[in-house]
Structure 1
Amino acid sequence: MIDRTPAKGVSLFSLLLLPLLLGRVPVLEAHESLELLMPDAPPLTMVNQGDRHGIVGDVVLRALKKAGYASELRTLPWARAQKYALEKDSVLLAPLSRTPEREDRYTWIAPIMQMDRAFFSLEHKVSTFDEARQRFKTIAVGLGSAQEEILRSKGFAPEQIYPIKIGENPAQLLLKGRVDAWFNGVQESRYIWQRVSSRPLLMSPPMVSHELYLACSKVCDAEVVTDVAKAIEAMRRDGYIEKVKDRYLNNDPLDKTGSL
């Protein structure tokens, strides 16, 4: 018979301490790095501006850090990024509009800011979706964006919708006369336009509004969801999110430390 009594001179305390010394106590292990997918869509998210990551990017990265999670920032074409998160577990996406079409596909961690969407044109100012559908032959939208979903749901013909990679390209197409209008977020469009042209840009009234969220794969670690949501809510209460919005939208860059 095998003697399972602890050897003489080895205390029970030492046996209990051994797993800790070997680093094998799961509750004390460091969090794994989380994949965070963001498009390059200033001023909401930025991926090539050093420590500046845009309004949503700065908020999300700070929230992850405050919650104790390391993150691996990646940039993919936005339609591909959404598909990637659908196929994987615990992949973060920001910013993602919480639309009816997306509601059951993702885990919605926390809202960051509201985004109004409008039509932009150099020649015509429309007031309704019906007017836009009759007036504009081609409308640029971000590929894989909520704007693309919205126009399809409002009955715009496929040939009227011109999806293109998210970024400055739609503004350039409008300038060159290759599209009649641009349907996009108000804050983002104004930010981009003032960097590409001084021509007056005609804007419709806001046509639709959604909250921009930090989202996650449908299967997402519950602890991550709770911890990061709490961190974002704390940043909302202490005014940090509004300060970040003011800095980017007023073109007042953060200092070298990234403080506000």
Structure 2
Amino acid sequence: MRHRLMLYSCVLLALISFKSQAETIEVVTEDSLYAYLRDEKLVGPGIRIASETLKQAGLSDHHMALYPWARAYEMALHEPNVLIFPLDRTPAREQLFKWVGEIHRSTSRLYKLRGGERITVGSLEEAKQYSIGVVRNDAKQVYLQGRGFSRLVVSANNHDNFQKLLNRQVQLVPMPENTARLMSQDAQVDFEALEEVYALDEQPHRVYLAFSLSTPDETVAKAQRAFEALKASGEVARIMKEER
């Protein structure tokens, strides 16, 4: 009887483990240059890279969706089988996620509206005197808060943040140039209406695909191998060079 119970327990644990690893992977992201809706379809270079990675890894059971960044981040922080991008790999986040691979690298710049008030920033310290728009749970918010910035105005996403700059509710916003160009395009504003006042070279963006910490190691390992093969073939760089 005892041996039978032990056998049942082993079978039950195996079934639970199998179910956990077979669950649908939720791919979460925000509306950005990496992912966006076109003709009611989710597209973009990040979507293509994530899809191809999961396909090559044999992880075909997945669902992709756009969320406000704060919600996507919370899902990846607390739920199993969640793949998130574009996630900046920072020291503070290193132990919070299981990292799959780097899809892009860029530098953020502080932008103001051209022709408005005089704003001069010669160092990161000098930028503290200005109101700066950031996105909740974004690496730039964490970075600036950690360096003592107290005049941060938090938005749910890049679009709201950018609109606050246009409405002069904030004086500066930090964004990579390609994101600033995309936000200008979406807001139907000439990119030349923006003026770069400082480059945040101290914090280069290392943009990754990453799994939630409670995702099974086997799932993560499959995705890591598939991504490395994709990157080695030059496909990741080729996809990222394509314009929206």
Scaled by the length of structure 2, what TM-score is found?
0.80
Question: Identity percentage over the alignment?
Answer: 25
Among candidates 155, 162, 175, match of residue 148 of structure 2? 155
RMSD (CA atoms): 2.4
Aligned to 2:242: 247
Unaligned runs of 5+ in 1: 1-23, 252-260
Structure 2 CA distance, aligned partners of 1:50 and 1:238?
A: 31
Tell me by how many angstroms 1:126 deviates.
Answer: 2.6
1:166-193 deviation line (CA, Å, top 9, x unaligned): 1322222211211101112332122222
Please say if residues 141 and 184 of structure 1, whose CA atoms lie closer than 8 Å, have aligned partners that are also in contact. no
Post-superposition CA distance 1:20-62 (Å, at most 9, x none): xxxx9x99xx954211111112x12224555552222221111
Q: Which portions of structure 1, spanning 4 or more consecutive aligned residues, are displaced by more than 6 angstroms?
A: none
Q: Matches of residues 109-188 of structure 1 in structure 2 within 5 Å?
A: 109-122=100-113, 123=116, 124=119, 126-134=121-129, 136=130, 138-157=131-150, 160-188=151-179
Map 1:1-260 to 2 at 5 A: 31-41=22-32, 43-47=33-37, 50=40, 53-69=43-59, 70-122=61-113, 123=116, 124=119, 126-134=121-129, 136=130, 138-157=131-150, 160-196=151-187, 197-198=189-190, 199-203=192-196, 204-207=198-201, 208-248=203-243, 251=244
Query: Within 1, Cα distance between the matches of 2:40 and 2:224?
Result: 25
Secondary structure of 2:199's counterpart equals coil
User: How far, CA to CA, are the matches of 1:194 and 1:81 in structure 2?
Assistant: 24
2-structure distance, mates of 1:90, 1:52:
20
Bigger strand fraction: 2
> Based on CA coordinates, which of the two structures has the bigger radius of gyration?
1
For normalisation by structure 1, the TM-score amounts to 0.75
Contact persistence 1:118–1:206 (CA under 8 A): yes
Is residue 78–residue 143 contact of structure 1 (8 Å, CA) maintained in 2? yes
Q: Give the count of matched residue pairs.
A: 218
1:74 positional shift: 2.7
Q: For residue 20 of structure 1, what is the aligned residue in structure 2?
A: none
Report the Cα distance in structure 2 between the residues aligned to 1:192 and 1:127, rounded to whole angstroms: 25
By percentage of residues, which structure has more helix?
2
Task: Please give the per-residue CA displacement for 1:201-242, whole angstroms capped at 9, x wherever unaligned.
Answer: 111224321311111111221222111112211221222122
Taking a change above 3 Å as real, the CA distance of residues 86 and 148 of structure 1, as seen in their structure-2 partners, is same
**Maintained 8 Å contact 1:37/1:81:** yes
Greater RCO (CA < 8 Å, at least 6 residues apart): 2
